[in-house]
């Protein structure tokens, strides 16, 4: 048995040595969901990172834990990574919309069809920064949604990269549940400001 | 944050492979970095860039996971409820950082599953300081303050690097670190300015940890072709020596200020503003990093047990139709 000075480790009864385990299967953990958060009321949702989860509800719980516990947050969206359509990347001064194939003037339908779905559009303004939500369009496919997005948001610059997400694939926090974002006031120990260490150092030096 | 980028670099004598890269794509790639633009996952990149960044980010992620063990073991024994809660919050942060970092590394093409396998197989390294034990609460405090401080020096530099996903992860990680550093400093100051017994315990912990802290940034860089290229590509943002000097400059005065001493008679700042110190025992460093340290086997065994004990949960919840998808950003 592996022996440690730490009684907590000894209680685990771990073997002294063991043959290396076989490599994991390609997906032994869970699939990923991408998470977007809202820093304050009325601010655009911005990309914060992925979580691994077996399903969307669990992804939301993990995302809340991972991305909202330390900083202000007023809303959270989670989306399966596989549901996000990603364009190519262009340089920091350019717009990726300029690279879309030009369509004939009548290619964009004048009126939305009843079967059209809503799509959420996210722009990356600068390489290395995070994607932010710019709005919704209605279209029949992700490709058509990208053309609609160009018409609606194409004048914004720069646009380094665009994410197109079918709105039905987004699990969103509910406005009625807003009180879940209220950080418990007695968790000040997680804030740097709660540590008044200089007072103690000064006192120590005076007494020195 | 526990990462130190220098745990294991590509051997200096290994070929750069640049002669096999497409010269036009390489020139465009270098021009983008020179303009100050970040590289994003679907951009063309040289093999050496992909390989070194994968290694660096993966080691950083492993360091967060393994580094949480010596502090995590003190949660239940932390003195007082407030410290228990704070220690728990810090350890939770670190494990969260590992998740962000694994995803950033995955965008370069290596799966998280493969990284987790390579950690327990011993194929990947993590920061060598975690192969040493934390026999007392004061040792845990030294990690919270000074190992985190060292990691912050490193990560603040790396956050200005050229790879977009790593920068995004580090921005978030650095924002969470402010609390760790204050928490660790507060804990050390509390002990150092406390009773004689507390003070003695802190001094002994510092004496135990100082040699490891001095190796934290790795040996002096040999200015090889690799180093020169990786600095031009903004993969390596500062030399190991520059990081060590910055750390000493920021923290030695803070250590002395609370009446603690450091176990190196040669440690001093010379007239040129450069810190002089006794060269760490790099032979010992090599021996420990290659497996022969006081806690190597224990760290990996604990990590492996956690992995194996959780396997049934993952099996039970994994949807049969779930497929691996590489994280986007």
> What tokens appear for B158 in the block?
């790396």
HSE-CB of B83 using CA atoms within 13 angstroms: 20
pLDDT (tens digit, 9 = 90+) per residue, B238-265? Answer: 999 999 999 999 999 999 999 999 999 9
Q: What local confidence, expressed as pLDDT, does residue A104 receive?
A: 67
Give CA–CA dist B37/B39, Å, rounded: 7
**pLDDT bracket for residue B300 (50, 70, 90):** very high
Mutate which of B174, B322, B326 to test chain A, going by most A C-beta atoms within 10 A?
Answer: B322
HSE-CB of A84 using CA atoms within 13 angstroms: 27
pLDDT (tens digit, 9 = 90+) per residue, B23-47? Answer: 999 999 999 999 999 999 999 999 9
Q: What angle do CA A115, A121, A125 make, to 5 degrees?
A: 165
Omega before A158 cis (within 30°)? yes
Give CA–CA dist A208/A205, Å, rounded: 5
- Least confident segment among A96-105, A108-117, B72-81, B86-95: A108-117
pLDDT (tens digit, 9 = 90+) per residue, B60-89? Answer: 999 999 999 999 999 999 999 999 999 999
What backbone torsions phi and psi does residue A71 show, to the nearest 5 degrees? -130, 160
Q: Do B133 and A54 touch (CB under 8 A)?
A: no
DSSP B286-316: HHIIIIISSSHHHHHHHHHHHHHHTHHHHHH
Element (H, E) at B93: helix B81-106
Closest residue to B304, CB basis, from A21, A81, A208: A21
pLDDT (tens digit, 9 = 90+) per residue, B304-313? Answer: 999 899 889 9
Range of the domain at A65: 29-207
> What tokens appear for B195 in the block?
């009773």
Q: Is A48 on the interface with B (CB under 8 A)?
A: yes
Closest residue to A89, CB basis, from B35, B42, B175: B42
For A14, the closest chain B residue by CA position comes to B301
For residue A176, give how far its alpha carbon lies from the nearest alpha carbon of chain B (Å).
28
Q: Is B328 on the interface with A (CB under 8 A)?
A: yes
**pLDDT bracket for residue B227 (50, 70, 90):** confident
Please, are residues A160 and A88 in contact by the beta-carbon 8 Å criterion?
no
Please, are residues A24 and B114 in contact by the beta-carbon 8 Å criterion?
yes
Q: Is A180 on the interface with B (CB under 8 A)?
A: no
With tokens 């989306």, the residue in question is A79
Element (H, E) at B65: helix B47-72
Predicted model pTM: 0.93
Q: What local confidence, expressed as pLDDT, does residue B101 receive?
A: 96
Residue B1 pLDDT greater than 70, yes or no: no
Q: Which residues of B25-34 are buried (b: 16+ CB within 10 A; e: fewer)?
A: eeeebeebbe
Position A14 in a domain: no
Q: Do A204 and B258 touch (CB under 8 A)?
A: yes
Q: Is B183 on the interface with A (CB under 8 A)?
A: yes
Position A24 in a domain: no
Q: What angle do CA A183, A184, A188 make, to 5 degrees?
A: 95
For residue B237, give how far its alpha carbon lies from the nearest alpha carbon of chain A (Å).
16
Residues in chain B with CB shorter than 8 Å from the CB of A34 are 327-329
Residue A38 pLDDT greater than 90, yes or no: yes
Looking at domain B18-317, its CATH superfamily turns out to be Ferritin, core subunit, four-helix bundle (1.20.1260.10)
Q: Is B39 on the interface with A (CB under 8 A)?
A: yes
**pLDDT bracket for residue B322 (50, 70, 90):** confident
Q: How far is CA B294 from CA A2, A4, A181, A205, in A?
A: 12, 9, 44, 37
Please, are residues A195 and A144 in contact by the beta-carbon 8 Å criterion?
no
pLDDT (tens digit, 9 = 90+) per residue, B137-180? Answer: 999 999 999 999 999 999 999 999 999 999 999 999 998 888 99
Closest listed residue to residue B180, CA positions, set B159, B211, B150: B150
Q: Is A129 on the interface with B (CB under 8 A)?
A: yes
Domain count, chain A: 1
**pLDDT bracket for residue B3 (50, 70, 90):** low
What's the residue count for chain B? 329
Position A2 in a domain: no
Closest residue to B329, CB basis, from A27, A47, A91: A47
Closest listed residue to residue B242, CA positions, set B55, B35, B5, B2: B5
Q: What local confidence, expressed as pLDDT, does residue B5 receive?
A: 47
Identify the DSSP state of A191: S
Please, are residues A3 and A10 in contact by the beta-carbon 8 Å criterion?
yes
Position A1 in a domain: no
DSSP B10-26: PPTTS---GGGS-HHHH
Residues in chain A with CB shorter than 8 Å from the CB of B113 are 23-29
Share of chain B above pLDDT 90, in %: 82
Closest listed residue to residue B188, CA positions, set B250, B137, B247, B127: B137
Please, are residues A53 and A64 in contact by the beta-carbon 8 Å criterion?
no
pLDDT (tens digit, 9 = 90+) per residue, B265-282? Answer: 999 999 999 999 999 999
What B305-312 contacts at long range (C-beta under 8 Å, 24+ apart), as own/partner pairs, is B305/A12, B305/A14, B307/A21, B307/B116, B307/B120, B308/A21, B311/A28
Give CA–CA dist A70/A58, Å, rounded: 19
For residue A105, give how far its alpha carbon lies from the nearest alpha carbon of chain B (Å).
31
What is the average pLDDT across B90-109? Answer: 95
**pLDDT bracket for residue B11 (50, 70, 90):** low
Residues in chain B with CB shorter than 8 Å from the CB of A202 are none
Closest residue to A127, CB basis, from B38, B93, B307: B38
**For residue A50, what are the β-bridge partners?**
A34
**For residue B286, what are the β-bridge partners?**
none
HSE-CB of B235 using CA atoms within 13 angstroms: 23
Q: Give the start-to-end residue ranges of the domains of chain B.
A: 18-317
For B:278-307, CB contacts with A below 8 A are 295, 297-298, 301-302, 304-305, 307
Residues in chain B with CB shorter than 8 Å from the CB of A91 are 32, 35, 37
Q: Is A18 on the interface with B (CB under 8 A)?
A: yes
Give CA–CA dist B154/B63, Å, rounded: 13
Residue B184 pLDDT greater than 70, yes or no: yes
What is the average pLDDT across B286-302? Answer: 94
Please, are residues A77 and A117 in contact by the beta-carbon 8 Å criterion?
no
**For residue A84, what are the β-bridge partners?**
A165
Residues whose CB is less than 8 angstroms from the CB of residue B98 and which lie 6 or more positions away in sequence, other chains included: B61, B62, B64, B65, B68
Position A21 in a domain: no
Closest listed residue to residue B183, CA positions, set B147, B225, B214: B147
The mean predicted confidence, pLDDT, of chain A is: 90
For A:71-100, CB contacts with B below 8 A are 71, 80-82, 84, 86, 88-89, 91-92
Closest listed residue to residue A38, CA positions, set A150, A158, A164, A174: A174
Between A183 and B133, residue with greater pLDDT: B133
Q: Do A4 and B135 touch (CB under 8 A)?
A: no
Please, are residues A96 and A89 in contact by the beta-carbon 8 Å criterion?
yes
Give CA–CA dist B42/B163, Å, rounded: 11
Q: Is A7 on the interface with B (CB under 8 A)?
A: no
Element (H, E) at A76: strand A75-80
Q: What local confidence, expressed as pLDDT, does residue B146 receive?
A: 97
**pLDDT bracket for residue A184 (50, 70, 90):** low
For residue B148, give how far its alpha carbon lies from the nearest alpha carbon of chain A (Å).
14
Mutate which of B193, B294, B303 to test chain A, going by most A C-beta atoms within 10 A?
Answer: B193
Give CA–CA dist A201/A147, Å, rounded: 61
With tokens 């036009």, the residue in question is B24
Neighbours of A94 (CB within 10 A): 14
Closest listed residue to residue B60, CA positions, set B91, B88, B100: B100
DSSP B226-286: HHHHHHHTTSS-S-HHHHHHHHHHHHHHHHHHTT---S-TT-EE-TTS-EE-PPP-HHHHH
For residue B211, give how far its alpha carbon lies from the nearest alpha carbon of chain A (Å).
21
Q: Is A120 on the interface with B (CB under 8 A)?
A: no
């Amino acid at each position: 048995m592996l022996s440690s000075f730490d009684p907590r480790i000894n209680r685990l009864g771990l073997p002294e040595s063991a043959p290396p385990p076989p490599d994991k299967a390609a997906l032994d953990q869970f699939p990923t969901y991408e998470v977007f958060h809202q820093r304050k009321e009325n601010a655009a949702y911005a990309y914060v990172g992925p979580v691994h989860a077996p399903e969307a509800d669990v992804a939301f719980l993990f995302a809340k834990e991972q991305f909202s516990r330390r900083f202000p947050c007023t809303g959270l969206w989670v989306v399966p990574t596989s549901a996000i359509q990603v364009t190519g990347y262009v340089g920091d001064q350019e717009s990726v919309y300029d690279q879309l194939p030009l369509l004939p003037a009548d290619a964009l339908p004048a009126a939305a069809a009843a079967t059209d779905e809503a799509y959420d559009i996210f722009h990356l303004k600068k390489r290395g920064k995070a994607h932010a939500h710019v709005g919704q369009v209605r279209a029949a496919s992700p490709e058509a949604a990208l053309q609609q997005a160009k018409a609606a948001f194409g004048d914004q610059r720069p646009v380094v990269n665009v994410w197109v997400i079918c709105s039905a694939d987004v699990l969103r926090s509910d406005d009625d549940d807003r009180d879940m974002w209220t950080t418990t006031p007695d968790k000040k120990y997680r804030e740097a400001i709660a540590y008044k260490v200089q007072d103690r150092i000064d006192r120590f030096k005076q007494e020195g | 944050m526990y990462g130190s980028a220098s745990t294991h670099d590509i051997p200096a004598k290994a070929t750069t492979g640049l002669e096999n890269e497409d010269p036009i794509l390489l020139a465009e790639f270098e021009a983008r970095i020179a303009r100050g633009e970040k590289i994003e996952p679907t951009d063309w990149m040289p093999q050496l860039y992909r390989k070194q960044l994968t290694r660096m980010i993966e080691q950083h992620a492993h360091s967060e996971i393994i580094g949480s063990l010596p502090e995590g073991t003190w949660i239940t024994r932390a003195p007082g409820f407030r410290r228990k809660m704070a220690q728990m919050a810090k350890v939770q942060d670190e494990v969260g950082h590992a998740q962000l970092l694994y995803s950033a590394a995955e965008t370069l093409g290596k799966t998280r599953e493969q990284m987790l396998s390579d950690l327990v197989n011993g194929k990947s390294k993590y920061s060598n300081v975690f192969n040493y034990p934390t026999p007392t609460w004061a040792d845990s405090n030294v990690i919270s303050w000074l190992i985190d401080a060292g990691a912050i020096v490193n990560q603040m530099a790396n956050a200005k690097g050229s790879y977009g996903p790593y920068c995004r992860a580090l921005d978030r990680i650095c924002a969470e670190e402010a609390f760790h550093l204050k928490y660790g400093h507060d804990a050390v100051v509390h002990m150092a300015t406390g009773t004689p017994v507390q003070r003695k315990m802190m001094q002994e912990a510092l004496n135990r940890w100082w040699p490891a802290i001095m190796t934290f940034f790795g040996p002096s860089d040999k200015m090889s072709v690799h180093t020169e290229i990786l600095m031009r590509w903004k993969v390596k943002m500062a030399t190991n020596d520059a990081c060590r000097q910055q750390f000493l400059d920021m923290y030695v005065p803070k250590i002395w200020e609370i009446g603690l001493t450091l176990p190196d008679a040669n440690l001093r700042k010379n007239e040129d503003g450069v810190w002089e110190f006794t060269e760490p025992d790099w032979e010992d460093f090599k021996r420990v990093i290659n497996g022969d340290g006081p806690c190597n086997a224990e760290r990996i065994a604990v990590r492996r047990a956690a992995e194996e004990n959780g396997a049934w949960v993952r099996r039970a919840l994994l949807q049969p139709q779930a497929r691996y998808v590489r994280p986007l950003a």
